[in-house]
Chain A
Amino acid sequence: MKMLAAALVMGVGSIGPALGEAHVAGKALEGMSRNPEMSDKLFTNMIVAMAIIESVAIYCFVIALIILFVS
């Protein structure tokens, strides 16, 4: 039961961040291709934004770990 709960947390919880990160990457690439001089600045901002979006998935991961290993 615990295994199933952890698997569900990871599986369902990573859908949203995946879509969000894809959107960020797509938009950033679009911006870079339109304006190549800005690509350095866009790239760092993209990485930071992605890391922030990813933190939702990371929270899910922490919850899954707590379900699995902390009794």
Chain B
Amino acid sequence: MTEISLAPEPALELGHFAISNTMTATVLTTLLIIVLAIFVRRGAGIVPSRAQVLFESFFTFFLDQITMAVGSEKKARQLVPIIMTFFTFIFISNLFILLPFVSVLVTGEGFPFLRTPTTDYSMTIALAFMIIAGSHVMALFISPLGHVSNFIRLKGFLKIRKPMDFLMAIIDFFLGILEVVSEVAKVFSLATRLFGNIVAGEVVIAIVVGLMFATKFIVPIPFIVIASFAGVVQAFVFTLLSLLFMSMNIRHASHSH
């Protein structure tokens, strides 16, 4: 059976720094996106090319979703770039294994040179952290006091009339602290969802391939199809959920003052 490791293996050595094989794959994904963008932009015009039609339909889909979430198209147009960047990046990195000759490249120590970027837990944690932290920064820009008062709730203490009110104020205060915990949990739930789904597909494929000699050739194809479908769905789910969290924070901040 092939070795299954959850942590990425080192692919390159730059001085004292070991560059992991997910890192090389991430750089390759980024280059791929840049090339794709240049290719689509060059063919774009009044009479749309086929790639342009595809990308414009994605753009309108996300614009509609964001407009539904934040309420106005003007705000939505500010959010489209970050959301679509996340989607494109996660989409291409989830389907990284489908690129030809990716699994053939091997380093000197026998580790694969390229590995699907989203099977690195640090990667997904970083993506989720950027989303959540970014939404908080945006909410702070909209209304600093309103956003902070969602988490440190002192408003209840100001209007105490009878002893019962004091109890309610304390409960409200602790609910605000629980809100902080749930913000941290959001990062881990987003990251683990993406990581787990992609790793699950890869592990199943690795197990089927390593089962015996006869299962190396045709048998893995249905599993690869299922894994690719899960990758596409997870790219959508990650972006839609991050959009939901962002719009929730922004709306809370702009409503509470």
Judge whether A65 and B192 touch: CB under 8 Å.
Answer: no
Are A65 and B199 in touch, CB under 8 angstroms? yes
Main SS at interface, chain B: helix
Q: Which of B101-109, B159-167, B210-218, B229-237 faces chain A?
A: B229-237
State in angstroms the CA–CA spacing of A66 and B193 once bound together.
Answer: 15
A48–B189 contact, CB under 8 A? no
Q: Which residue on B lies nearest to A60, using beta carbons?
A: B196
- What residues on A are CB-neighbors of B4 within 8 Å? 65, 69
* Pair A65/B234 contact, Cβ less than 8 Å: no
Q: A48-B236, A51-B233, A52-B241 are in contact. Are A66 and B6 (CB under 8 A)?
A: yes
A59 & B192 in contact (Cβ 8 Å cutoff): yes
Residues of chain B lying within 8 A (CB to CB) of residue A51:
193, 197, 233-234, 236-237
Separation of A18 and B189 alpha carbons in the complex (Å): 19
Residues of B within 8 A of A69 (CB): 4-6
Flag if A55 contacts B196 (CB, 8 Å): yes
> Would you call A70 and B6 a contact (CB within 8 A)?
yes
Q: Report the separation of the CA atoms of residues A59 and B195 in the bound assembly, to the nearest whole angstrom.
A: 10
Interface residues on A, range: 10 to 19
B200 → chain A closest CB, angstroms: 5
The residues of A that contact B236 with a CB separation of less than 8 Å are 44, 47-48, 51
Residues of B within 8 A of A (CB): 4-6, 189, 192-193, 195-197, 199-200, 203, 233-234, 236-237, 240-241
| Chain A residues at the B interface, C-beta cutoff of 8 Å | 44, 47-48, 51-52, 54-55, 58-59, 61-62, 65-66, 69-70
